[in-house]
Chain A
Amino acid sequence: MEAVSGLFRYGQAHEWFERHHQELVGAFEGEWVAVTEGVIVDHDQDLNKLVHRLREGKIIPGPVYIDYVSREPLVALL
């Protein structure tokens, strides 16, 4: 099933993002970064613009991990 293999690859992209976060901070702090298969496919300060380009390129929906790069961890009061 495509969604299953996609979920595995999405997980790999997420883990890559976590492992390389410090390097990402150096290059992309304050930006949203899209990662798949160990490659940064795009980045932007505006998530809407980034997602629009990824959608135009038919990269999403798909196993691309997108997250905000920040030196400071998020303190979430939910």
Chain B
Amino acid sequence: MRIRGFITSRFAPPAPVLRAHFRNPHIGVQDYITFLLDTGASITTILDRDAIRLGLTLNYARRNLKPTPQRMVGIGGPAETYPLSSSELMFSLEEGGEHLERLNACLVLHDPERLGEEYNRVMLLPSILGRDIINKCAKLTYSQKRQIVLLEL
């Protein structure tokens, strides 16, 4: 089974991305997300721009979700993190059909009041497909020269 991504020149240098349908039945959200493929990331992470699309605002998260115990600091400054347990990612397969992965994703939200102008830059960061999914693949092919991003299951 093969999942094909592609290389986008919207990043410098160009970067591998994959599209998927994200769903979390427990909190009743679903939508389509383009993920940056990041072998350096442990966990698949939904970031601010896609969280807004899913309706997972900071106010919603503070009222309805249980934060992770640790306060996280990363690129983009301090952020609030919430586990999105029992999430689902659905990928289209190159040979037809679809492939479903269940995962415990992470929601990372920045506070615009804390970040000020910097928040607009943080909003540009894509959600990340991490090793929790990548490691399930038998083979990952990435070649910018040949314009190939391919996950084989």
Contact = CB atoms under 8 A, between A and B. Distances in A.
B33 to A, nearest CB: 9
Contact of A55 (B21, B49, B55, B124): B55
Given A47-B49, A74-B12, A77-B75, A6 B125 contact: no
Contacts of B92: 4, 7-8, 11
B98 A10 contact: no
B17 to A, nearest CB: 9
A3 interface: yes
B91 to A, nearest CB: 8
A1 to B, nearest CB: 7
Interface of A: 1, 3-4, 6-8, 10-11, 14, 18, 21, 47-48, 51, 55, 60-68, 70, 72-78
Contact of A18 (B8, B21, B49, B54): B8
Interface of B: 8-12, 15, 19-21, 23, 29-32, 34, 36, 38, 40-41, 49, 52-55, 75, 90-92, 97-98, 123-126, 128
A68 B53 CA distance: 13
A5 to B, nearest CB: 10
Given A3-B90, A76-B36, 4 more contacts: A4-B92, A62-B32, A76-B11, A76-B124
9 contacts: A10-B21, A11-B19, A14-B34, A63-B32, A68-B124, A76-B11, A76-B15, A78-B38, A78-B128
